[in-house]
Amino acid sequence: MVNTMRLQKVALTVVISSILTACATSPTGRSQLIFMPDSQMSQMGLQAFDQMKKEKPVNTNVTFNQTAQCIVTELTKGMGQNWEVVVFEDKTLNAFALPGAKIGVHTGMMELVDNQDQLAAVLGHEVGHVIARHSNERASQQTLTEQALGMIGQTEYGQNPLIMAGLGLGAQYGVLMPYSRTHESEADLIGVDLMAKAGFNPQQSVNLWQKMAQASQGNQPSEFLSTHPAHETRIQQLQEHMPQALEFYKQAQAAGKNPKCR
């Protein structure tokens, strides 16, 4: 029988040593494990984005591009970075963010939204990923997981392929994927606050995810097996958070913030 106590101690040694030297706090107050240099992550993001622009068709629709850039500019005022937004010719409902203040949005998403507020929910979510350093956190988690599995692989248990396969599966579904769902939910909340503070109607974030749920036609994997929360979960979390977002929106309106990026 496998000595699970010894197995746990090996992995725990790696985990504890990294956690003690890499604690950080996200914008929502959540504890994070981050030990990759932000400068390195930004450089990787810039390189990846440049490569995407070379390999993936870039949409030239002036309205699409100006609207997306205008919204991100409003969302990020005061952050001290020049954010680049590129609309890619792709019919899938997607957008993404990379370290280094880079955001890509697909034409499929641009065509889905009904108004600037719904698009602000999408782009605010992506800005949320960047300012919460989610890419760095994911890279740190992945590195830590690989280190722990590597150390176990050097023990007697590493000679058993069934054990190693089980540990790898457990890390994927028990650590990496749940953290990714946490990132998505956190980016939703950061994004809805950002849009509200910029003067966009935060209630349209709920409308957006209702449209996304309809567009998916139920073709979404089980939440346990997905890196994203279920649409219903996202909608519920946004609705629970809405009183705070509406207060930010009220303050923005009182301050005369009324973005016109349509």
Query: In the 3-class helix/strand/coil scheme, how is 75-128 assigned residue by residue?
Result: HCCCCCCCCEEEEECCCCCCEEEECCCEEEEEHHHHHHCCCHHHHHHHHHHHHH
Question: Which of the pair, 159 or 133, is modelled with greater confidence?
Answer: 133
Mean pLDDT of 56-76: 96
Least confident of 208-212, 221-225, 250-254: 221-225
Please write the tens of the pLDDT for every residue from 114-158. 999 999 999 999 999 889 888 778 877 676 666 555 554 454 444
| The pLDDT value given to residue 224 | 43
Instruction: For strands 23-25 and 95-98, give the pairing.
Output: unpaired
- What is the model's pTM? 0.76
Q: Confirm if 55 and 103 have CB atoms less than 8 A apart.
A: no
Provide the 8-state DSSP code for 58: B
State the Cα–Cα distance between residues 31 and 210, nearest whole angstrom.
30
Of 8-17, 38-47, 48-57, 251-260, the range with the lowest mean pLDDT is 8-17
Catalytic residue among 126, 137, 184, 186: 126
Q: How far apart are CA 97 and CA 95, in angstroms?
A: 7
Share of the chain above pLDDT 70, in %: 73
Q: Quick one: pLDDT at residue 36?
A: 76
More reliable by pLDDT, 231 or 210: 210
Mean pLDDT to the nearest integer, 148-174: 43
Please determine, for residue 35, whether its predicted confidence score (pLDDT) is greater than 80.
no
Per-residue pLDDT at 1: 42
pLDDT of the residue at 61: 94
Q: pLDDT at residue 22 above 80?
A: no
Handedness of CA 241, 32, 171, 212 (dihedral sign): positive
Instruction: Classify 151 as helix, strand or coil.
Output: helix
The reply to whether 247 belongs to the active site is no
Q: DSSP character for 229?
A: -
Residues in Cβ contact with 261 at an 8 Å cutoff, skipping those fewer than 6 apart: 66, 67, 70, 71, 74, 116, 119, 120
Q: What is the mean pLDDT of the chain?
A: 79
Give the residue, 58 or 5, on which the prediction is more confident: 58
Joined together, the tokens standing for residue 66 give: 């100006």
> What pLDDT is stored for residue 99 in this prediction?
86
List own/partner pairs for 211-215 with CB under 8 A and 24 or more apart. Answer: 211/112, 211/113, 211/114, 211/118, 212/93, 212/112, 215/93, 215/112
109 versus 18: which is more confidently predicted? 109
